[in-house]
Amino acid sequence: MSTSTAAVSPIIAPALVPAAPLNTISILVRNKPGVLVRIALVFSRRGYNIESLVVSADAANAAFSRMTITCSGDPETLEQIIKQLTKLIDVVRAIDHTGQAVIETETALVKLRCKLDERTELLQISEQYNAKVVDYGPDSLVLRLYGVSAKLDAFFELMGQYDVVELMRSGKVLMARGLETT
């Protein structure tokens, strides 16, 4: 590693600051225009910050979409938000999965500026986290990584000592274990 990249990458540094505990909510909605805006407004009016938002069409029925929202804030306010969400016409159900047994995953891409002599060390770290190289350039690497959020956080903390050019995270998706509804 060169001395010029010894400082923490400015792209990763903000993610290392301890934050409030995160809550994860799954919402099943009718797939109609404006639903996302109405849901975001419920959070905004209560001063809740949405950390990540993932929306996808329901595989069983294209008339519905599934949302996974990761947010931080006061637990009592979150309870009120969920009650308000369930009152919205296009919301079928909203469930707070915080503290429940769930399967969760997140995907990330990270682009690193690196010389050939730095690649061995980067690839060794990447291998420990099952990160895959998806693009090699003469002076760069792009890695794809997936897993629970804590795994990605730990990987990016290690990557902070390198020259991170870009970092993209998908946001968390989850599914309840067993036969429970998500």
Can you read off the two tokens belonging to residue 164?
């991170």
- pTM value is 0.79
Residue 18 has pLDDT above 50, yes or no: no
Euclidean distance between CA atoms 101 and 176, whole angstroms = 6
Residue 51: alpha-carbon gap to chain centroid: 8
Average pLDDT in the 11-17 region? 51
C-alpha to C-alpha distance for 73 and 81, rounded to whole angstroms: 11
pLDDT of residue 9: 55
Q: Quick check: 104 and 182 in contact, CB under 8 A?
A: no
- What does the pLDDT read at residue 140? 93
- Chain segment 138-161, per-residue pLDDT in tens: 999 999 999 999 999 999 999 989
Contacts of 128 (CB under 8 A, 6+ apart): none
What tens digit of pLDDT does each residue of 43-54 get? 999 988 899 999
Percentage of residues in the chain having pLDDT higher than 90: 68
What is the per-residue pLDDT across 112-145, written as a single tens digit (0 to 9) for each?
999 888 899 999 999 999 999 999 999 999 999 9
Dist. CA 134–CA 54, nearest whole Å: 23
